[in-house]
Amino acid sequence: MSALLELRDVALIRGGRLLFEGVSLSLEPGGSAIISGPNGVGKSSLMRVAAGLLRATVGEVKRHSPAALADEAAALDERLTLGRALAFWARLDSVRAEAGMEPMGIAHLANVPVRMLSTGQRKRATLARVIVSGAPLWLLDEPANGLDAEGQERLTAAMAAHRSRGGAVLAATHQPIGLESAATLALGAA
Amino acid sequence: MTALILRELRLAASGGTALLPLIFFLLVATLFPFAVGPDRPLLARTGGGALWMAALLAALLPVDRLVEPDRAGGVLDQLALRGVNEEAVAVAKLIGHWLSFGPPLMLAAIPAAALMKLPREVLLRVEIGLLVGTPGLTALTLMVGALTAGLRGTGAMAGLLMLPLAVPILIFGAGMIEQGFETGAIKLLGAVSLLLIAAAPFATGAAIRACRD
């Protein structure tokens, strides 16, 4: 099977500073990789390069499937209820939002306005958007930030289910998030 | 595309974004007679121009709410990931924002004209002018909003960028009131408006892409 995401010798310069270079990565269906490294080393930037939102200064980035990104920005309209805010994205993805709220345990919050949600609940909503998106490639930037133990378990289960269906997960994180047999990509180690 | 336009309308309706420029417009129309005095012929002669000034400044008000919240909230990134290109986002914003700004402003111009004791034919010229000119104003607001997204203290900056560019709209819009439909003012107003509308998707799209770096 062909890879969902390929990075070959990618380097990125931002604001006149070399963040990383020589990063290569290949994610097969069912595969996963964890980007680790100290703060400021460019984990989030690499994530955005993989998502196609930033252009790599050098190197090749190939995405062979749609990608879903969960980063620190929830991208949910603050004034809407959570259900309707997620439904906007679900409609663009031609899916039903409920299918993502259930696995993250936020179905009971559907009628709560987004601005009233806590950090952890927001994170769950962001992950719910990724889960329901139907994109084979998940790009998760610090997915476990703000999640409680139960939320982390749900995240782990969702990632495992996604991989068993042939999806791939690329995560940037400091903490163990229960990705089994994931390749590790250490930035700033050299 | 429809979903994006509907979203713009919903945002405008829910946050008072649509209401604020209208209140501002009516406020200026209320204050103007106090400033120049209740002289009916003078008001009738200057009132139309004052309405255009008010419309211009009202168009400036929502400039920081058009693009910046979507950039900061990650909405623009999520749309890009779904393959919606930035120009399409700009077109949706242009249509959605005009619908929440142009027609309500034209409605508000009726009581505003009454406050200034404008004759009926002047009101008609103002209304036609607003119909032709507000899409251009909206396009300008959108471009400036995208250019200043991600910067701090954008309010004054946006005004400095936008108001000089809005001068042609003001000249032809107000010129049309004085001289009526026989002169070329309305055609030139239309031309300026079309030019701004044509440029807006590309300028806005490029600005959105540029602020990702």
Rounded Cα distance between B74 and B68, Å, is 10
How far is B144 from chain A, CA to nearest CA, in Å? Answer: 22
H or E element at residue B133: helix B120-147
The pLDDT, as a whole number, for residue B211 is 86
The ipTM is 0.88
Cβ contact (<8 Å) for B81 and A76? no
Cβ contact (<8 Å) for B78 and A89? yes
Q: Please, which residues bridge with residue A137 across strands?
A: A67, A168
Cβ contact (<8 Å) for B11 and A89? no
Q: Which residues of A81-98 are buried (b: 16+ CB within 10 A; e: fewer)?
A: bbbbbbbbbbebbebebe
Rounded Cα distance between B12 and A76, Å, is 15
Cβ contact (<8 Å) for A77 and B212? no
Task: Tell me the pLDDT tens digit for each residue of B49-76.
Answer: 899 999 999 998 888 888 988 898 889 9
B176 pLDDT band, cuts 50/70/90, is confident
Judged by a CB distance cut-off of 8 A, whether residue B1 touches chain A is no
Q: How many helices (H) and strands (E) does chain A have?
A: 5, 8
Rounded Cα distance between A38 and A33, Å, is 17
B78: chain A residues, CB-CB within 8 Å: 69, 75, 89, 129
Whether pLDDT at A190 is above 70: no
- Domains annotated for chain A, with CATH where assigned, are 1-65+136-147+155-189 (3.40.50.300), 74-135 (no CATH)
* Strands of A58-63's sheet in order across: A17-27, A5-14, A58-63
Nearest residue of A to residue B73, measured between CA atoms: A75
Rounded Cα distance between B49 and B28, Å, is 12
Average pLDDT, chain B: 89
Determine how many CB atoms are found less than 10 A away from the CB of residue A9.
Answer: 12
Whether pLDDT at B80 is above 70: yes
Whether pLDDT at B19 is above 90: no
Task: Tell me the pLDDT tens digit for each residue of B97-113.
Answer: 999 999 999 999 999 99
Task: Tell me the pLDDT tens digit for each residue of A126-140.
Answer: 999 998 888 899 999
Whether pLDDT at A189 is above 60: no
Amino acid at B65: R
Comparing CA positions, the residue from A128, A147, A146 lying closest to residue A138 is: A128
